[in-house]
Amino acid sequence: MTEATRRKFDPTSLIRRPEFGAFIGTVVVLIFFSIVGGASFTQPGGIASWLNVGAELGIIALPVALVMIAGDLDLSVGSSLAAGGTTMAVVSGFFNLPTWIGVLAGLLMGVLIGLVNGIVLVRTNLPSFVVTLATNFAVFGLVLGFTKLITGTIAVDIHPDPIIKNTLGSLMGGLFETAIVIWVIVAVIVSWILYKSIYGNWIYAIGGDMVSARSTGIPVNKVRIWLYVGTGFASALVGVIQTALYDSAQVNAGQSFVFNSIIAVVVGGVLLTGGYGSTIGVILGTMTFAIVNQGIFYTGWDSDWASLILGILLLIAVLTNNTFRRLAITGGKKKGQKSND
Amino acid sequence: MTNATPLLSLKNVSKVFSGYRALNDVSLDVYPGQVLCLLGDNGAGKSTLIKVLSGFHEPTAGTLEWDGKAVTFKSPRDANERGIATVHQFGGTFPLMTIGRSFFVGVEPTKGWGPFKRFDKKHANETAVKEMQALGITRVTDGERLVGALSGGERQASAIARAVHFGAKVLILDEPTAALGVKEATHVLRIIMQAKHKGIAVILVTHNVTHALTVGDHFAVLIRGEKADDFKKGERTREQITDLMAGGEAMAELEAELDTLTGSINKIH
């Protein structure tokens, strides 16, 4: 049994990794737009344009990936983002309270929405699709209604104090959003949760089979609620970042994040059925999305074509995800035989 | 052996779901080191009984006793902590998790300290592989492989290995052989015997009379939520058991009737 302890490097194991498809996707679109998009796409300005989009999306997509690995969906990130941003603007812009109170209130709003999502979900046992869709509409209505009621407008201006402006909403080197740094921090935290902490195991187990996970003693309901608190917080954080960056909060900001986050996660190799996925994949998926979304402006084509590309990418991703899952399950048996000779 | 106190008993347990009586006045005794076979047709209440035993459902009436003392399982966790482990039909229920990770689901080993406490992957993988090899699954050498890559019998073995490793006192196996081929089923039955000899009380739920008779010490037949019969090894013939499971109707008569319908086909063969 000594040969069991010594494992040779097996190149096929790379192919079986969940992020392999996402990696190919990112490389392909990066090369494509570097050629078609011309020189300006590969210069700092071009890189910043997609990294900025990627960072804002990535901060939301990573916690959304955890929710999806646990087998649920979160369609309420758009309104959580709007709620976070407008709460900050109303508190610190309209009522002129210190900015940090506004930031705190905004983030708290995201946590609250996540709690509502999670608690309604585990209490009613309805599909998360329906629950979070309902929350998205309900919260959107609340934000719109209250913002108009309080401020009489749907775009609230704010003058954030310099410390918060510099840390959350400014451009490094005049090009790169500070959100990129926050994205990296979020990626480290989410990766730690998924791979290093025991909660990662719980998340995979819940997504794999919720009933069995419950029977092993995992506090399934608590984990699911916490995951929604995570997406709510992250969405509100992006709302706060945008408000700090643009000195204004828009009530209808953020709705694009609802589906974009799901696209990024699925293109990143997370299975729609849950139980499988990686943070590296999701980061790559987010980058792929951002490159296509921004790269299109450098090609001189109508930007509408970006949606077509993303649609096709999504479909390819779902199909290849299923294939990779099958490869992973069979353990590449055919290739194993080949290595015998 | 039957004079000893049972490890786990059901006393007149009933379970009613919104007007539907899934279990009616069922009493059972489970002894350590014995295999109790729970027989019954589909819909006889086997699943409900398992769920009562494993803490998913609280009985509507009747009591559970552990070591002679009344207990209530508010959640599967309660049952788990007592040492009741349930293995479902497809064994490793997390096909997309690695063998090491799925082995320790819910009881993850950690290393490190405070906020840096982390999942001990190396230990998890090594332990999982070691325990599976101890049950005769020698093909598995890498804990990083996905559970889905295992065969049905290997998955059952991994799930049983898990239960044994964590010191299960009662092992509930829900149709472990139903989805398996003949050879794999035999292997799983052998593992059941290994578990039994370790002093574990095994509850084997099955509708396969042959498998039940091979490993069972004690048998209970459920029909429409009621315990129709309860007997020890050798007290009933295979025919009697099959008849009973078919709902009290004589299987032989049914077969004879079938013969008259398919007679012409049989003659051709």
Residue bearing the bigger pLDDT, A21 or A245? A245
B36 part of a folded domain: yes
Give the lowest-confidence range in A94-103, A145-154, A181-190, B218-227: B218-227
Same domain, B85 and B16: yes
pLDDT category of residue A3 using cuts at 50, 70 and 90: very low
Q: Positive or negative, the Cα torsion across B261, B265, B267, B269?
A: negative
B140 part of a folded domain: no
**Residues of chain B above pLDDT 70, percent:** 90
B105 part of a folded domain: no
Same domain, B247 and B187: no
> Which residues constitute the domain of residue B18?
1-92+169-236
Same domain, B173 and B269: no
A340 part of a folded domain: no
Test B97 with A275 for CB contact under 8 angstroms.
Answer: yes
Q: Using beta carbons and an 8 Å cutoff, which residues of A are at the interface with B? A: 1, 4, 7, 192, 195-198, 200-202, 204-205, 208-209, 212-218, 271, 275-276, 325, 328-331, 333
pLDDT in tens, A53-82: 999 999 999 999 999 999 999 999 999 999
A6 part of a folded domain: no
What is the H or E stretch that residue A171 is in?
Answer: strand A171-172
Q: Is B39 helix (H, G, I), strand (E, B) or coil?
A: strand
Same domain, B3 and B78: yes
Q: Which pLDDT score, from 0 to 100, does residue A133 have?
A: 96
Test A208 with B93 for CB contact under 8 angstroms.
Answer: yes
State yes or no: pLDDT of A326 exceeds 70: yes
Test B96 with A7 for CB contact under 8 angstroms.
Answer: no
Q: Say if CB A170 and CB A266 are below 8 A apart.
A: no
Q: Which pLDDT score, from 0 to 100, does residue A62 have?
A: 97
A213 part of a folded domain: yes
pLDDT in tens, A207-246: 988 888 887 778 999 999 999 999 999 999 999 999 999 9
How many domains, in total, are found in chain B?
2
pLDDT in tens, A252-293: 889 999 999 999 999 998 988 888 899 999 999 999 999 999
Q: Which pLDDT score, from 0 to 100, does residue A333 have?
A: 44
B135 part of a folded domain: no
Question: What is the pairing mode between strands B201-206 and B170-174?
Answer: parallel
Mean pLDDT value across residues B203-229: 86
Cβ neighbors of B179 (< 8 A, separation 6 or more) are: B89, B90, B152
- Report the candidate in B6, B11, B33, B37 with the shortest Cα–Cα distance to residue B222: B37
Same domain, B244 and B259: yes
Instruction: Give the distance from CA A245 to its chain's centroid.
Output: 20
Same domain, B173 and B85: yes
Buried-exposed string A238-277: b where 16+ CB fall within 10 A, e elsewhere: bbbbbbbbbebbbbebbeebbebbbbbbbbbbbbeebbbb
DSSP B179: T
Give the lowest-confidence range in A309-318, B10-19, B240-249: B240-249
Cβ neighbors of B238 (< 8 A, separation 6 or more) are: B209, B210, B213
Same domain, B2 and B80: yes
Q: Measured between beta carbons, which residues in chain B are less than 8 angstroms from residue A215? A: 54-56, 76, 80, 86
B57 part of a folded domain: yes
CA-to-CA distance for B259 and B269, rounded, in angstroms? Answer: 13
- Burial class of residue A8, CB neighbours in 10 A (0-12, 13-18, 19+): exposed
The CATH number of residue A238's host domain is: 1.10.3470
What is the H or E stretch that residue A293 is in?
Answer: helix A279-299
State yes or no: pLDDT of B251 exceeds 50: yes
Test A204 with B94 for CB contact under 8 angstroms.
Answer: yes
Prediction ipTM score: 0.77
Cβ neighbors of A232 (< 8 A, separation 6 or more) are: A76, A80, A110, A111, A112, A113, A114, A115, A117
A173 part of a folded domain: yes
* Tokens read off for B223: 């029909």
How many domains, in total, are found in chain A?
1
Same domain, B267 and B228: no
A339 part of a folded domain: no
- What is the rounded average pLDDT for all residues in chain A? 88
Test B77 with A217 for CB contact under 8 angstroms.
Answer: yes
Q: Residue B119: how many CB atoms within 10 A of its CB?
A: 22
Test A205 with B86 for CB contact under 8 angstroms.
Answer: no
A324 part of a folded domain: no
The CATH number of residue B10's host domain is: 3.40.50.300
| Helix residue ranges, H only, chain B | 46-53, 76-82, 99-103, 121-134, 152-165, 182-197, 209-215, 238-245, 251-268
pLDDT category of residue A4 using cuts at 50, 70 and 90: very low
Same domain, B190 and B269: no
pLDDT category of residue A5 using cuts at 50, 70 and 90: very low
Q: Say if CB A139 and CB A76 are below 8 A apart.
A: yes
Q: Which residue in the set A215, A275, A333 is minimally distant from B54, CB to CB?
A: A215
What is the H or E stretch that residue A60 is in?
Answer: helix A44-69
pLDDT in tens, A299-321: 888 888 888 888 998 898 888 88
> Which residues constitute the domain of residue A54?
44-317
pLDDT category of residue B4 using cuts at 50, 70 and 90: confident
Instruction: Choose, out of A198, A204, A330, A337, the residue to mutate when testing the contact with B (most B CBs < 10 Å).
Output: A198
